[in-house]
Each structure stands twice: as C-alpha cells, then as structure tokens.
Amino acid sequence: MSSHGESWFLVLPDSEAGLAVASLAEKRLGATPEKRVSHASGRPFLIGSWGPAFVTATRHGLRIAVIGCSSADEPETAQLLAGQGDLESAARAARSLRGEFHLVVAAGGRLRIRGTASGMRRVFHGEAEGTTVAGDRADVVARLLDAPLDEELLAVRLLDSVPHPLGDMPLWRGVHAVPPGFQLELRPDGVSRTRWWSPPEPRLGPEEGAALLRTELDAAVRVRTRVAGTLSSDLSGGLDSTAVCALAAAAGAAPVALTMASRDPGDDDLHWAKLAAAGLDHAEHVVLPADRVPLFYSGLLEVTGPVDEPAPTILDQPRQLAGHDEMLARGSALHLTGMGGDHVLWGHPAHALERLTRDPLGALRHLRGYRAHNRWPLRDALSVIADRRPYGQWLADSAGRLTAARAAPHSADVLAWDVPPRMPGWATPDAVAAARDRMRRAAQSAVPLGRTRARHNELNILRHGTRVTRVLHQVAEHGGLPLASPFFDDRVIEACWSVRAEARSSPWRYKPLLKAALRGVVPAAVLERETKGEASADAANGLRENRARIAGLWHDSRLARLGLVDPDRLVATTLQPSSPELRYAGLDSTLACEIWLRTT
C-alpha cells in the first residue's frame, strides 16, 4: 500500500502471535511496511507507513507513540511524555497535546490505542493469528484478516443519511470500530473499550469563548506550519478557509493560497477571496480559472483508491484535487483546509428547546427565527417539538418508513433526533429489507450520542463531517499532497463547544464566534460577510454533462451484481437529470458505494 502514498499502521501485541501477524501483513498487504517500531523485547510494536510521529521509550519501560501532526516533539512536551510511569499517566499527559494524532502506549503486555475525539483519526480491530490486532484504517485491517464484505451494511449506506450508530460500523465482517471518544485496550486476558473524552459543558460567554477559540485555532495551525515547513491553503472566500489561511500567514508560514473560480455568476466567493488575500502578508494568491475546475461527477472512472468507506467525498476527487499540482510545484508539503468550521461553529437549533424552561422568551424568539428562515409550517414544527420518543424508538420507527415520501429540504425534522433516512427508489426490495433489519437490530441497544437532541445532533453531525473529510484526506494522499483540517482538532472543538449555544450562533448572525475570534487577523471587511457560496451550478451542470457516463456505470454495476440496486431504473433516472428523484433521492450515496466497490 505504501507505494501509493497511503498512510496506515498496525499495532501488534508483544507476543509470538504478534510476530506472526507481522509476517502475515507482508503477505496480505502486498508490500513490506516502510516503518517499524519494536517493543522492548524486539518484537514488532508498530508497522506501517506514516508521516509525522513522535516515539519515545520511558525509563519505566513504556513505549509511547504519537502518530500525526502534534506538539509532542516540542522540548517541554517531549520531556513530559518521556517521564511518564504507566498507561494512565501517559494518557493524562497526552491531553496537553495539540494537533490531530493517534496515541499508542505499550507497557507490561498491555496496549492502549486511541484516535481523536472528533473521529478524524479512528481505531479499528479484528482477530488474526489468534490475537487482536488494531489499526487506523478499516480496509487495512480487513485485508489483513481477509475479511468478507458485509453486504447488509453496504445496503445501509444507500440511505440518503445514515443514522447513528450504523455510520460508524466498518463494511467488513469481523472488523470492529472503536467509537470516537473511546480507546481500545488490549491485555493478555481480553479486550476492552473505555471512554476517554466527553464534550465540555457550555459555560463560556462570547468574549471568553472567542479568546479561547483564537488561541486553540492558532495553535492548531502552528502545529502544521512547524511540522510541514512550506505549505499551501485553501482560500475559498468563506470565513473558515480564510481564518486558517490568515493564521498560517500570521505565523510566518508564507502559505500559497488557492482559490477556485466559479462558473456561477451569482457566486461571489472569488471577490471575497481576493479581498482577503489583499490583506494577508507573505501569502501568494493563486486563482484557478473556472475552466480548469472540473465539474462535479467528472472523472468518476479515474477515481483512485482505496479508501476505507464509501463517503460521497470520493466522487469529488478530480475537483477536490484541482490545483494541487501547482501547489506541489511551489513546494507545498501540506495543504490546509477550512473544513470542519461549519460543523463545530454552529449551535444546533434544537438547543432552543433546552432553553424553553430557563429562558422561554429567548428560546421562542430563536425558534421563530429558525422557522421563518427555513419556512417550517407551524404544525410540522409543533409536532417535532412535542415528540418525546427515546432515540431507540425513533430509530426503530424510522426503519419502518424507509420508502415513505421525503420531507422537504430544511424541514422541521432538524429539531428531532435526526432527519428520517430514506432509501432511493432504485434500491431493490432486498436492499430495503436489509437496511430495515440492521436499523431495527441497532435500535434495540442504541443510545443517543448526547443527553439532549441538540447535543446528539451536534455529535452526529461532527462524526458525519469527520467521516467524509477523513476520506477526502485519504483521497488527497493518492495525489501526493496531504491535507490538514485544523477545525476538526479536538482542542478546537472543545473551545467552540465550551461556549453557550446562543452565543455561538443565531438565526440572524453568521458565525459570530469565529468573527469575534479573528478580529485583527482577518481583514475587517471580510468579517462583514454574511453569505456563503455554494457550487450548485457546477453540480447541476456536472450532472447534466456527465449523465451518459454515469448511466454507463449502471450497465456493469457492482451494486447490481450484489442485488442491491435496479440498474434499469438507475439508467432511466440518470438520463433525466432534471428529475427530482435523481437530485434528492440519494444519487451521491449510490454512486459513492458503486465507485468504492470498484476501487476496493
């Protein structure tokens, strides 16, 4: 795998079985791992191919590995980690780290592995050679185990939105995922998973929160500028990418700022990007002309893999990597993005429901604002607000309505546990039955991610965002220019979620917390922006211009071979790109599953 630039690693126990797994990995993965770290015994501890990492052996016999962009090798932090005496103290010391990384600790025959609370870095595990093996990619663990595809879970991925907890489940039988915020511990007598992270209580007001966000986002960007040296950054014109690019410039990194022009005459992103670039010192601004930006759905057959889940992000590979050759030519070793800002800065509308008892006037004012902005019918809004079903019951009931009519976009269902999922019309009865069965089985033990609808939704949205962004990061590795998305760093998320929801956002103000945090860093005129560009014109044009190529996929569909889709209906629907069924019925999810099967 390493020959294509993928980053991956496996964690092996200090035993003869672990040694056997290392030999098996070379056979099953088709390549000799580029990197290897040993236990004190000399047996393999970590094997794989990875980028930045900090590895130390303490005087107490611990092996500590921090894999990813982190502050671990800063002198004081490195000394702190090297002085730890056991697993628990090492984990506590790691809480001071900034960045995005895996933490792996070995001591006395025990292993502890954790990714990020956000889900940007995951942990997967399975049984090989009679022992438990963990890794950071589900597809690598699956290849090691020679695990078969779970076709029922693949049917679930055809849903237009995959409800918790099904979205976190790997698509191979025998491969298990550790939920974000939990850690995996491997002991000679068994395996356990324990929680190491919970979201903070939102106690801060806007001023304190803005100061904390500024500190943590700046630190997250500086971790990357220190590790990467020369780097580039998206500068879309939106607030999130502008924030990251501006902080990189303020850190003295001299980033190459990349803006993709739009074909849509109503899209004013380029105007705002130029305005931002003019106010940034030491940043070179590169504008990619619109005719060099691929339309959506272009180059689907050129998409390379593998990635470890069928997120729709895989479809955008040609578009997302546009301009990266120029960034590489300018010496960039890492490309910063503003992805994640939409996920962590938004105070979910359902927070207003929690305020009804302590601040009824303020809560009702916000609810009226959200209702007016989204045009919710009053009856629909009241029905959702009055719904008191527990999450498991909501999930079970949703399983029975997978083929019902879809709610209107931006419906009042946003105030519920989730927007009810729907199956596309081209899914076969077997696919619908499989998805329904898995949802009902999951509902028997499902608990929400948070104690309220708002917190559950925020965590669910965060996990969805990190799943699709994580896949995009995997895609970018194939192109040779790794990505970093600092808004998804745990410390940045904690800074945002430490702020009371009503201070984070409202129906009438756009990202007020971020604007307050960036005063003096981002040009003042840019902070006045209240709009957000979209690429709907490129999406519509891409669907129209590529419809014949997309239809061609269904003539030899891997999904059809598995009995999950009706290829004739897909062909007929695809050739009518103005069809509402095509636009809103989950085409991207179906395409992602099809392309993923072809690249896995």
Structure confidence by residue, pLDDT tens digits, 452-476: 999 999 999 999 999 999 999 998 9
Structure confidence by residue, pLDDT tens digits, 64-96: 999 999 999 888 888 888 888 888 889 889 989
In terms of domains, do 94 and 48 share one? yes
Between the CA of residue 380 and those of 345, 391, 405, 508, what are the distances in Å?
Answer: 27, 19, 15, 22
587, 569 in Cβ contact below 8 A?
A: no
What pLDDT sits at residue 2? Answer: 41
Q: Is residue 140 in a domain? A: yes
In terms of domains, do 381 and 296 share one? no
Give the containing element (helix H, strand E) for 123: strand 123-128
Q: Which of 399, 432, 451 is the last residue of a domain?
A: 451
Tell me the whole-structure pTM to 2 decimals. 0.95
Q: Is residue 391 in a domain? A: yes
Structure confidence by residue, pLDDT tens digits, 22-63: 999 999 998 788 999 999 899 999 999 999 999 998 878 889
453, 416 in Cβ contact below 8 A?
A: yes
Burial class (CB within 10 angstroms; exposed 0-12, middle 13-18, buried 19+) of 66:
buried
Q: Is residue 538 in a domain? A: no
In terms of domains, do 246 and 133 share one? no
Between the CA of residue 347 and those of 306, 459, 476, 501, 510, what are the distances in Å?
Answer: 35, 11, 30, 5, 11
In terms of domains, do 188 and 62 share one? yes
In terms of domains, do 324 and 413 share one? no
Q: Is residue 540 in a domain? A: no
In terms of domains, do 191 and 66 share one? yes
In terms of domains, do 42 and 185 share one? yes
Q: Which domain holds residue 441?
A: 360-451
Helix (H, G, I), strand (E, B) or coil at 228: helix
415, 350 in Cβ contact below 8 A?
A: yes
ω into 306 cis (within 30 of 0) = yes
Amino acid at 288: L
In terms of domains, do 444 and 572 share one? no
129: which residues sit within 8 A by CB, 6+ positions away? 17, 20, 21, 24
For residue 220, pLDDT over 50 is answered with yes
Angstrom distance (rounded) from CA 535 to CA 515: 23
Q: What is the CATH number of the domain that holds 521?
A: 3.40.50.620
Q: Is residue 354 in a domain? A: no
Structure confidence by residue, pLDDT tens digits, 581-598: 666 668 899 999 999 999
Could you identify the residue written with the tokens 């931002």?
Answer: 276
End-to-end Cα separation, the chain, in angstroms: 12
| CA within 13 Å, CB half, 160 | 25
Q: The tokens of 171 are what?
A: 């698509």
Structure confidence by residue, pLDDT tens digits, 496-551: 999 998 888 888 888 999 999 999 999 888 888 776 666 667 777 888 888 888 99
Q: Is residue 350 in a domain? A: no
Question: What proportion of the chain, given as a percentage, has pLDDT over 90?
Answer: 68
What pLDDT sits at residue 583? Answer: 64
What pLDDT sits at residue 534? Answer: 65
In terms of domains, do 304 and 278 share one? yes
Structure confidence by residue, pLDDT tens digits, 301-344: 777 778 999 998 888 888 888 999 999 999 999 999 999 999 99
Q: Which of 429, 451, 473 is the last residue of a domain?
A: 451
Q: Which of 451, 485, 516 is the last residue of a domain?
A: 451
| CA within 13 Å, CB half, 529 | 23
What pLDDT sits at residue 3? Answer: 38
Question: What proportion of the chain, given as a percentage, has pLDDT over 70?
Answer: 96
Beta strands in 432-513, from DSSP E residues, in sequence order: 483-484
The residue-averaged pLDDT of 125-138 equals 96
What pLDDT sits at residue 262? Answer: 86
The residue-averaged pLDDT of 547-568 equals 94
What pLDDT sits at residue 5? Answer: 60
Of 55, 85, 564, nearest in space to 46 by CA? 55
Q: Is residue 417 in a domain? A: yes
In terms of domains, do 435 and 484 share one? no
For residue 580, pLDDT over 80 is answered with no
Angstrom distance (rounded) from CA 360 to CA 352: 9
Number of structural domains found in the chain? 4
Beta strands in 136-282, from DSSP E residues, in sequence order: 176-178, 182-187, 190-195, 232-234, 256-260
Torsion of CA 345, 348, 353, 355, to 10 degrees: 0
Angstrom distance (rounded) from CA 103 to CA 66: 5
Higher pLDDT, 101 or 409: 101
The per-residue pLDDT of the chain, averaged, comes to 91
In terms of domains, do 133 and 32 share one? yes
pLDDT band for position 111 (cuts 50, 70, 90): very high
470, 120 in Cβ contact below 8 A?
A: yes
In terms of domains, do 366 and 297 share one? no
Structure confidence by residue, pLDDT tens digits, 358-413: 889 988 999 999 999 889 999 999 999 999 999 999 999 999 999 998 887 788 99
Q: Is residue 115 in a domain? A: yes
